[in-house]
Amino acid sequence: MHRQRTRTRRLGIVALIAVALLAGLLAACSDPAAERAEDPRPNVVVIMTDDQTLAELASMPKTKRYLTDEGTNFVNSFASFPLCCPARSTYLTGTYAHTHGVEDNVPPKGGNDKLDQSQTLPVWLQAAGYTTGHVGKYLNGYGDEAIGERPAAVPPGYDDWFGLIDPDVLKYFGFTVLDNGERRTYEDTDANYQTDVLADRAVADIASFSEQGKPFYLSIWPLAPHSGTGRGRPTITKENGATQDIGVAPVPAPRHAGLFPDATFPRTDSWFEPDISDKPDEMVQTRQRMDQGISDLGLDGLDIEEVVDVTYRSRLQSLQAVDDLIEKVVIALDEQGQLDNTVIMFTSDNGWLYGEHGIPFAKVVLYEESIRVPMVVRGPGFPKGQVVTQPTVNVDLTATVLDAADATAAIAQQGTPLQVVANDPEAGKDRAVLLEAAWEKFDYDAVRVAGYMYAEYTSGSVELYDLFNDPHQLDNKAGDPLYSGVQRRLSQALAELRACQGQGCIVTVPQAELRGS
């Protein structure tokens, strides 16, 4: 009897030990740190501004401190189709606009519903085991039923969604978002400045995602420095003493409204270029339309130089809240122990013109200020303090994220990972990147290589610029006998890019051929 009780107690002890071990194993399995150790792939955070020029990056000291100084700066990065919705669709799909089919900001040729949402980067990352989230602007027209778009809904591929609903995207105060399926309206208060609200949500997402024990992807897309509405948008005083609101300007955060009081937009040789007779008819007509647009905005009769300078200052001011957002994101990643294992990408969807070639407040056109965008990447695979001069394009961003995440796209990718050129100064130096547009009066295909830009319009117009000797694109060399060899070679490369599908979109033009020409 005694032996039986002893045996029973021993069995009970063994059972308790087994339960304790099992509980320990279960605890270990649910431990985020343990799970993360099993999947060491880096997190990815992509911050994309709206209409920011490459030059405006210099006004963001925190971005320089936290990203540029700590990562790789791609100083020759381009937006293939320099318009918001087509450019963002290129990022989401890793394909050029002639493949994904989004060629406008609004229906029928563009807008949110034009893109096949079932085949995008977040879908592929989610399938690869990433937690995915989005904060901010999405594709133009998202949720705007007034223009025929479907009601706002969480797109496929996102575990967490905080998307600005159109047309409220353009409201810096008093806007509405879709928060994981629920509409939320933020009242018009200083504390609810749009960029700051997005920053707070991004920080909260980083904390939440870090607790899940999985790598995560987070896209953060603020509106700034795009034009918008709200109290604090700058005005200008007319000769009769009346004030005129500047509709092309953004609204800065109240705390930044007084910054850059003496800043003036740099007057380069191309600024309001007096003679554009060498430019295509499309550009001459565009200049005429811009003059009409200024009149329609009530800005005619004003000093256009003052309008440009006031707009310039407001854009720099609006970017300071983005600068704060970047600091908050980096600090949040650091506090969660995620910073060293996170790829942070900063870019813009397209550039903007302040009056170069007489075309103020515009994009889509083929000039450098419109097609060149900031591109800075910090994190695993990107050397600290590196400057990359090889041509890169926004179609590369998707391939970059997929490479970092060791994920696979369900459609053929047309770019190349930026990790390649970041670590090899010879890689891609002879690459030709495609520029294209089929939007309103702009219908062109173009190719950009180191030192040259060549474009063909459906109208038959042609442009060729020798950027080595003419960085401001003042002298169109198309048809110049001295450049016939360059024009012929770039036209050949353009034909290859125009017809490219899938991996065939990587085309090179050796510099030796162009110099020989």
> Who's near 157: CB < 8 A, 6+ residues apart?
117, 120, 121, 122, 123, 124, 125, 126, 132
The domains of the chain are located at 35-229+310-427, 438-516
| φ, ψ at 357 (rounded to 5°) | 60, 20
Helix (H, G, I), strand (E, B) or coil at 436: strand
Name the residue type at position 362.
Answer: A
Q: What per-residue confidence (pLDDT) applies to 46?
A: 98
Kindly report the backbone phi and psi dihedral angles of residue 143, in degrees, each rounded to the nearest multiple of 5, phi listed first: 75, 5
CA distances from 311 to 85, 170, 360, 498 (A): 23, 16, 11, 36
Q: What is the token pair recorded at 404?
A: 């970092």
Interstrand relation of 342-348 and 375-378 (parallel, antiparallel or unpaired): antiparallel
Domains 35-229+310-427 and 438-516 agree in fold: no
Q: Does the domain spanning 35-229+310-427 belong to CATH 3.40.50.450?
A: no
Angle (nearest 5°) at CA 284 between 281 and 288? 135
- What's the pLDDT score for residue 293? 75
Give the Cα separation of 202 and 23 in Å (integer): 34
Point out which residues pair with 136 in neighbouring strands. 163, 221
pLDDT of residue 440: 75
> What pLDDT is stored for residue 26 in this prediction?
40
- Kindly give, in sequence order, each residue whose CB lies less than 8 Å from that of residue 48, ignoring residues fewer than 6 positions away: 88, 91, 219, 220, 221, 346, 347, 348, 349
- Reading the chain (517 residues) residue by residue, the pLDDT tens digits are 444 444 444 444 444 434 343 444 344 445 777 878 899 999 999 999 999 999 999 999 999 999 999 999 999 999 999 999 999 999 999 999 999 999 999 999 999 999 999 999 999 999 999 999 999 999 999 999 999 999 999 999 999 999 999 999 999 999 999 999 999 999 999 999 999 999 999 999 999 999 999 999 999 999 999 999 999 999 988 777 788 889 999 999 999 999 999 999 999 999 999 999 999 998 888 888 877 877 776 666 568 889 999 999 999 999 999 999 999 999 999 999 999 999 999 999 999 999 999 999 999 999 999 999 999 999 999 999 999 999 999 999 999 999 999 999 999 999 999 999 999 999 999 999 999 998 777 899 999 999 999 999 999 999 999 999 999 999 999 999 999 999 999 999 999 999 988 777 899 999 988 976 5
3-state secondary structure 224-245: CCCCCECCCCCEEECCCCCEEE
For 60, counting Cβ atoms within 10 Å of its Cβ (0-12 exposed, 13-18 middle, 19+ buried), the class is buried
- For 269, counting Cβ atoms within 10 Å of its Cβ (0-12 exposed, 13-18 middle, 19+ buried), the class is exposed
The per-residue pLDDT for 299 is: 67
**pLDDT at site 242:** 81
The third-level CATH classification (topology) of the domain covering 438-516 is: Arylsulfatase, C-terminal domain (3.30.1120)
